[in-house]
C-alpha cells in the first residue's frame, strides 16, 4: 500500500511539473536568457563543441525544451542524426516551430517521453546530453544512469545545468536575480509566478558538482570532468561510457 501511495505521489508530481512547463512554454526561451544573463546560447554551443561529435553522429538531447541544443547539433555536426525528447507537448510544439524555421525537419526528430525511462536499447547514441533539465527530474541518479545506458561504448554524456549561487559578491547578485527578479518578471510575463518560483527553487537545491560527478561515476561513466561557467552560476559536466 505504501509503495502504491508513493507511486501515485510521484506520478502526480510529474504531472505538476509537466503542467508547469506547458504553461511556461511561450516564455521559456526569454526566461532562459534572463536566468543566464543572456549567455545560455554560448553555453549550448560549448556543449556541442565539447561533445566530440563527429560526422554522422547519433545524438540524443534529453529535456530538449524548445529544441535549441538539438538545433545546434544539427547545424554544426555534418550528417548528425539528432533525436530530441521532452515530456511537455507544448514545449515540443515550440521546438517543432523552431526546427521548421531552421529547415532541419529531416535532421531532428522530436519525441515526447520520460527521461527516467528511455525507450531505446543500450548503446543507441554516440552523444547523450541534458541541458537545464536534470534539476527538475524526480530521480536525478536514475536520469544519469539512463543517459549512460543508452550511450554507445566510447560515447559522451554531457550535462549542462545551473548551480546554486556561489558565495561571492557576484553570487549574491545572482541570488537576488534568481529568487526575487525571476519569479516576479517570469510571473508577470507568463501569468504563472509559482512556476518560476519553483524553477528558482530547483536551481537553489541542485547538488554540488562533486555530487553530480558521483552520480556519473555510479552510472558507470569514466573520464568525468566539469567546468564552472560564468562565475559559477552554471556547470558543464562530461563523462565517457567505457
Q: DSSP string of the chain?
A: -HHHHHHHHHHHHHHHHHHHHHHTTTTHHHHHHHHTTT-HHHHHHHHHHHTT--TT-EEEEES-TTSHHHHHHHHHSTT-EEEEEES-HHHHHHHHHHHHHTT-TTTEEEEE--TTS--SPTT-EEEEEEES-GGGSS-HHHHHHHHHHHEEEEEEEEEEEE-PPPSSHHHHHHHHIIIIIHHHHHHHHHS-HHHHHHHHHHHHTPPPHHHHHHHHHHTT-EEEEEEEEGGGTEEEEEEE--
pLDDT number for residue 17: 62
List strands edge to edge, sheet with 108-112: 108-112, 81-86, 58-62, 125-131, 151-162, 234-240, 222-229
pLDDT number for residue 36: 73
**CA distances (Å), origin 140, targets 119, 168, 229:** 18, 27, 21
pLDDT at 20 over 70: no
Mean pLDDT along residues 122-147: 96
Give me the chain's average pLDDT, please: 88
pTM of the predicted model, to two decimals? 0.89
Mean pLDDT along residues 103-113: 97
pLDDT number for residue 178: 84
Q: Which structural domains are found in the chain, ordered by start?
A: 39-163+207-240 (3.40.50.150)
d(CA 148, CA 216): 8
Residue 6's pLDDT band, with cuts at 50, 70 and 90, is: very low
pLDDT number for residue 9: 47
pLDDT number for residue 190: 66
> Who has greater pLDDT, 126 or 37?
126
d(CA 76, CA 150): 22
State pLDDT tens for residues 152-202.
999 999 999 999 999 999 989 989 988 888 788 777 766 767 777 787 889
Amino acid at each position: 500500500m505504501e509503495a502504491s501511495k508513493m507511486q501515485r505521489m510521484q506520478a502526480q508530481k510529474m504531472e505538476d511539473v509537466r503542467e508547469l512547463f506547458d504553461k511556461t512554454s511561450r516564455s521559456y526561451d526569454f526566461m532562459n536568457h534572463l536566468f543566464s544573463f543572456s549567455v545560455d546560447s554560448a553555453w549550448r554551443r560549448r556543449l556541442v563543441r565539447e561533445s566530440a561529435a563527429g560526422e554522422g553522429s547519433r545524438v540524443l538531447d534529453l529535456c530538449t525544451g524548445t529544441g535549441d541544443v538539438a538545433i545546434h547539433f544539427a547545424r554544426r555536426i555534418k550528417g548528425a542524426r539528432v533525436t530530441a525528447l521532452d515530456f511537455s507537448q507544448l514545449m515540443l510544439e515550440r521546438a517543432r516551430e523552431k526546427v521548421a524555421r531552421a529547415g532541419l525537419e529531416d535532421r531532428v526528430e522530436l519525441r515526447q517521453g520520460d527521461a527516467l525511462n528511455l525507450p531505446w536499447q543500450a548503446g543507441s547514441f554516440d552523444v547523450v546530453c541534458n541541458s537545464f533539465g536534470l534539476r527538475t527530474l524526480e530521480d536525478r541518479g536514475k536520469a544519469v544512469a539512463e543517459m549512460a545506458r543508452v550511450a554507445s561504448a566510447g560515447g559522451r554524456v554531457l550535462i549542462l545545468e545551473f548551480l546554486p549561487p556561489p558565495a561571492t559578491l557576484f553570487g549574491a547578485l545572482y541570488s537576488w536575480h534568481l529568487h526575487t527578479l525571476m519569479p516576479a518578471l517570469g510571473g508577470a510575463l507568463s501569468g504563472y509566478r509559482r512556476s518560476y518560483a519553483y524553477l528558482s527553487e530547483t536551481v537553489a537545491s541542485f547538488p554540488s558538482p562533486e555530487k553530480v560527478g558521483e552520480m556519473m561515476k555510479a552510472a558507470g561513466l569514466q573520464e568525468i570532468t566539469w567546468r564552472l561557467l560564468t562565475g559559477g552560476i552554471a556547470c558543464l559536466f562530461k563523462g565517457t561510457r567505457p
